[in-house]
Amino acid sequence: MMEFGIEVAGETLQLHGERAVFWPRLRWLLLADVHFGKGAVLRRAGVALPTGQTLDDLQRIDRLIAHYQPQRLVVLGDLVHGRAHHDTPWVADVQRWRERHAALAMSLVVGNHDRHMDAGILGFERIDEVLCEGPLALGHEPTRYPGHYLLAGHVHPGVNVRDGWRKHRLPAFRFGRSVALLPAFGRLTGLYEEPPRPSERIVAVTPAGLLPLATRAR
């Protein structure tokens, strides 16, 4: 199952197995923690990684855009991983990709990593505060936002799922009472795991698609 519908604050959201959320009413595509350029940062630090992570992530976003035909793409922080020069290869890749989608509005709610680089050079509108629309608020850090249900990133949420005697560490969407955590879109990110809270709704991201998990009600 690559898609799973969930209702929060009276709004229906479509979760996708590529670690994305689509908001049908507004036709907004939401991603969190893309971390463009992280592979390059790790290679500079001596970690042996192949190149091509940014192009792979851009192709994943292309598939989501083709599937949902959104009117706006909103990144909930950490579009980039760190500082980079304008002539860095991955920067040029993103700029060429952005030109191919010139008609699509793209916005970045600034995260902690984004402060090292101007998202404007990648063609994204920069939003320095939480973005509020109807009953939902879109932010980076998962702090409660009075009067709104907050969708956030930053944490890179994960969950442990058992399959018989095996235990799998998986990215997850986690929906609490007033705050939801989106999984990191970038695949070179770690996972933060904590036990499910009462009444929390959790959807794990597996290699085969999405897996809603049963949790205890309070």
Q: What are the start-end ranges of the E strands in the chain?
A: 3-8, 11-16, 20-23, 28-31, 72-75, 105-109, 125-127, 131-133, 136-138, 149-152, 157-163, 166-175, 179-181, 192-193, 201-206, 209-213
First vs last Cα of the chain: how many Å apart? 28
173 confidence band (pLDDT: 50, 70, 90): very high
Residue 45, SS3 per DSSP: coil
35 confidence band (pLDDT: 50, 70, 90): confident
Class of domain 3-213: alpha beta
Amino acid identity of residue 122, one-letter, is L
What DSSP state is assigned to residue 202? Answer: E
Q: How big is the chain, counted in residues?
A: 218
Give residue 104's pLDDT: 98
Q: Which residue has the higher pLDDT, 97 or 116?
A: 97
218 confidence band (pLDDT: 50, 70, 90): very low
State the Cα–Cα distance between residues 83 and 37, nearest whole angstrom.
9
Q: What is the pLDDT of residues 100-124, one digit of tens each?
A: 999 999 999 999 868 878 888 899 9
Give residue 49's pLDDT: 47
Average pLDDT over the chain reads 88
Specify the pTM.
Answer: 0.92
State the Cα–Cα distance between residues 56 and 195, nearest whole angstrom.
31
